[in-house]
Amino acid sequence: MLRIKRVPTVVSNYQKDEAEEVAPRAGCGRNCLNECCYEGAKIPLYAFKKLNKISKGLCCEYENTAPPFAFLDSLLLGEWEDRMQRGLFRYDVTACETKVIPGKYGFIAQLNEGRHLKKRPTEFRVDKVLQPFDGNKFNFTKVGQEEILFRFEANENGNTLLIPNAPLDVENSPSMVAINVSPIEYGHVLLIPRIFERLPQRIDRESFLLALHMAAEAGNTYFRLGYNSLGAFATINHLHFQAYYLAVPFPIEKAPTKKTISLNDEVIVSELLKYPVRGLVFEGENTLQALSNAVSDACICLQENNIPYNVLIADCGQRIFLLPQCYAEKQALGEVSAELLDTQVNPAVWEISGHMVLKRKKDYDEASEENAWRLLVEVSLSEERFQEVCALIFEVLDTVDVEGSPSVAKEHSDACLEEVEARNNASQPLQVTGTWECLV
Active-site residues, by number, are 240
- CB-count exposure of residue 260 (10 Å: 0-12, 13-18, 19+): middle
Which residues have C-beta within 8 Å of that of residue 178, sequence separation ≥ 6? 12, 140, 143, 147, 148, 149, 189, 190, 192
Provide the pairing of β-strand 319-324 with 355-358. unpaired
> What does each C-alpha distance from 47 to 157, 162, 175, 201 come to in angstroms?
10, 6, 11, 24
Q: Give which of 296, 294, 304 is closest to 128, Cα–Cα.
A: 304
Amino acid at 364: Y
> What does each C-alpha distance from 23 to 38, 93, 295, 413 come to in angstroms?
18, 29, 45, 64
Q: Give which of 233, 183, 227, 201 is closest to 76, Cα–Cα.
A: 183
Question: Residue 423 half-sphere exposure, CB side, CA atoms within 13 Å?
Answer: 13
| CA–CA gap between residue 411 and residue 87 (Å, rounded) | 56
Q: Give which of 229, 399, 216, 200 is closest to 297, Cα–Cα.
A: 399
Q: Give which of 103, 117, 106 is closest to 344, Cα–Cα.
A: 117
Q: Give which of 397, 412, 400 is closest to 262, Cα–Cα.
A: 397
Q: Give which of 403, 401, 409 is closest to 290, Cα–Cα.
A: 401
| CA–CA gap between residue 310 and residue 352 (Å, rounded) | 8
Are the C-beta atoms of residues 324 and 301 closer than 8 Å to each other? no
Are the C-beta atoms of residues 237 and 230 closer than 8 Å to each other? yes
What angle (nearest 5°) sits at the alpha carbon of residue 1, between those of residues 119 and 137? 35
| CA–CA gap between residue 6 and residue 156 (Å, rounded) | 44
